[in-house]
């Protein structure tokens, strides 16, 4: 059972990239959600919809041209204290990351220092933090590093003394997961952690993540293009489109009862594993440019449900089914009542 207070509460978050001295784009445009302890939220959507930007924004890891002009992020720490993430000082933020919240990036190689052994990189991460209120000793660091490597099913003896290039892509990705968990964060964000890997390696990492979650009970945001992975690893799904969450609900609600034509289209574009192969439909067109979003609904040019009103109103998330602990099903579509998912929605005619 999860507790009743969200671990993370995000309100109207905007993430902006400046693109020139007087120009900018908002890659995240007013995102609101609550995440409860132990939940796993999959963030899905097409390339460029703002998934990574949202993940980086949540950890305040944006590049220099990125900023958060408005919105709020409240986080409840291990000690039960509320933390206003956007107000954390530089030092407090450094501690908050790793000790409370960590992120695993796609493309493991870039996250390592190529000339440092894995053991030293793990030690470096731990040394600048407190463990149980004190600076960790060499033996604590060695013990914890080995424990976390074993937890991701790697042999510490071999891996600790290796350089990143001596490990396979799958091993490196596991090491990154081990490093991210060194300081027992309560919130783990994974940005496409398996995308560059072959299918068997991908499978192994998904199994490791499911096992770790079960054992350590951290809360997870899992960013992925892969709906099958989302269904497997998440309790909840949020679909993003042009910087907004346009539908959210439990895995079951999203997969069997999607009510936003875009989510329904995404689901219909995935072939079923069993049964007859239906005519798969892709979603016509491509996402709008963030620099010149049309008035009204950002999806309307690609939507076969679009009507006159959709050009005038930019719909907000409308409640479809109330459920506890952030699991409610909502969709930002004026016509969600007419959208019935499962392969009839975006049919062969599109
Ligand atoms: N540093 C940056 N400066 C300006 N615009 C950026 C920057 N980084 C990302 N963007 C823009 O922000 C939008 C969202 O990008 P983001 O990388 O968050 O998408 P994504 O959903 O993670 O995509 P993908 O699935 O390809 O990883 C895109 O339109 C992108 O062009
Ligand atoms: Mg991304």
Question: Ligand 2: distance of its center to the CA of 223 in Å?
Answer: 8
Judged against a pLDDT cut of 90, whether residue 342 lies above it is answered with no
Residue 48 banded pLDDT, cuts 50, 70, 90: very high
Identify the pLDDT of residue 108: 65
Q: 125-141 pLDDT, tens per residue?
A: 999 898 878 899 999 99
Q: Is 48 in the pocket of ligand 1 (CB under 6 A)?
A: yes
Q: Is 335 in the pocket of ligand 1 (CB under 6 A)?
A: no
DSSP-assigned letters across all residues of 13-60:
EEEEEE-SSS-EEEEEEEEEEEE-TT-EEEEE-STTSSHHHHHHHHTT
Which segment of 1-10, 105-114, 273-282 scores lowest on mean pLDDT?
Answer: 273-282
3-class secondary-structure state, position 142: helix
- What atom of ligand 1 comes closest to residue 223's alpha carbon? 22
Identify the pLDDT of residue 133: 80
Q: How much is the average pLDDT of 29-33? A: 97
Identify the pLDDT of residue 347: 35
Judged against a pLDDT cut of 50, whether residue 77 lies above it is answered with yes
Identify the pLDDT of residue 102: 96
* CATH H superfamily, domain 8-234: P-loop containing nucleotide triphosphate hydrolases (3.40.50.300)
Cβ-contact 125, 113 below 8 angstroms: no
Mutate to test the pocket of ligand 1, among 17, 66, 196, 241 (most ligand atoms within 8 A of CB): 17
In the DSSP assignment, the letter for residue 173 is H
Question: Ligand 2: distance of its center to the CA of 179 in Å?
Answer: 21
Q: 213-249 pLDDT, tens per residue?
A: 999 999 999 999 888 889 999 999 999 999 999 999 9
Identify the pLDDT of residue 320: 97
Give the tokens for residue 187.
């919130």
Q: Whose CA is nearest to atom 28 of ligand 1?
A: 48
Neighbours of ion ligand 2 (CB under 5 A): 52
Q: How much is the average pLDDT of 192-215? A: 90
Which segment of 39-43, 91-95, 131-135 scores lowest on mean pLDDT?
Answer: 131-135
Identify the pLDDT of residue 348: 33
Q: Is 51 in the pocket of ligand 1 (CB under 6 A)?
A: yes
Q: pLDDT > 70: what percent of the chain?
A: 92
Judged against a pLDDT cut of 90, whether residue 344 lies above it is answered with no
Identify the pLDDT of residue 283: 83
Could you tell me the residue ranges of all domains in the chain? 8-234, 240-338
Q: How much is the average pLDDT of 55-82? A: 96
Q: How much is the average pLDDT of 338-342? A: 77
Identify the pLDDT of residue 279: 57
Q: Is 185 in the pocket of ligand 1 (CB under 6 A)?
A: no
Which segment of 126-130, 153-157, 269-273, 337-341 scores lowest on mean pLDDT?
Answer: 269-273
Q: Whose CA is nearest to atom 17 of ligand 1?
A: 52
179 closest CA partner among 149, 207, 150: 149
């Amino acid at each position: 059972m999860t507790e009743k207070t969200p671990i993370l509460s995000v309100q109207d978050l905007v993430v902006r990239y400046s693109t020139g001295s007087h120009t900018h784009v908002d890659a995240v445009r007013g995102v609101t959600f609550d995440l409860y302890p132990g939940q796993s939220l999959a963030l899905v959507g097409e390339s460029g919809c703002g998934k990574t930007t949202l993940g980086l924004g949540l950890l305040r890891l944006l590049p220099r041209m990125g900023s958060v002009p408005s919105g709020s992020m409240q986080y409840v720490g291990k000690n039960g204290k509320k933390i206003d993430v956007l107000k954390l000082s530089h030092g407090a933020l450094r501690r908050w990351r790793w000790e409370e919240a960590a992120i695993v990036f796609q493309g493991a190689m870039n996250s390592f220092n190529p000339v440092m052994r894995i053991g030293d990189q793990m030690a470096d991460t731990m040394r600048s933090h407190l463990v149980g209120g004190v600076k960790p000793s060499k033996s604590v660091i060695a013990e914890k590093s080995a424990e976390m490597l074993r937890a991701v099913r790697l042999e510490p003896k071999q891996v600790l003394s290796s350089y990143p290039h001596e490990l396979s892509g799958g091993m490196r990705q596991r090491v990154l997961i081990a490093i991210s968990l060194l300081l027992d964060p309560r919130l783990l964000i994974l940005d496409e952690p398996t995308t560059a890997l072959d299918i068997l390696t991908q499978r192994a990492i998904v199994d490791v993540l499911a096992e770790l979650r079960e054992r350590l009970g951290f809360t997870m945001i899992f960013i992925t293009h892969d709906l099958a992975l989302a269904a497997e690893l998440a309790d909840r799904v949020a679909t993003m489109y042009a910087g907004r969450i346009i539908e959210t609900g439990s895995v079951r609600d999203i997969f069997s009862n999607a009510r936003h034509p875009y989510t329904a289209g995404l689901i219909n574009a995935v072939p079923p594993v069993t049964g007859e192969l239906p005519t798969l439909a892709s979603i016509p067109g491509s996402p709008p440019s963030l620099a010149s979003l049309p008035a009204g609904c950002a999806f309307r040019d690609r939507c076969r449900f679009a009507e006159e009103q959709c050009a005038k109103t930019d719909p907000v998330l409308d409640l479809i089914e109330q459920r506890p602990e952030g699991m409610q099903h909502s969709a930002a579509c004026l016509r969600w009542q007419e959208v019935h998912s499962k392969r009839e929605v975006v049919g062969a005619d599109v």
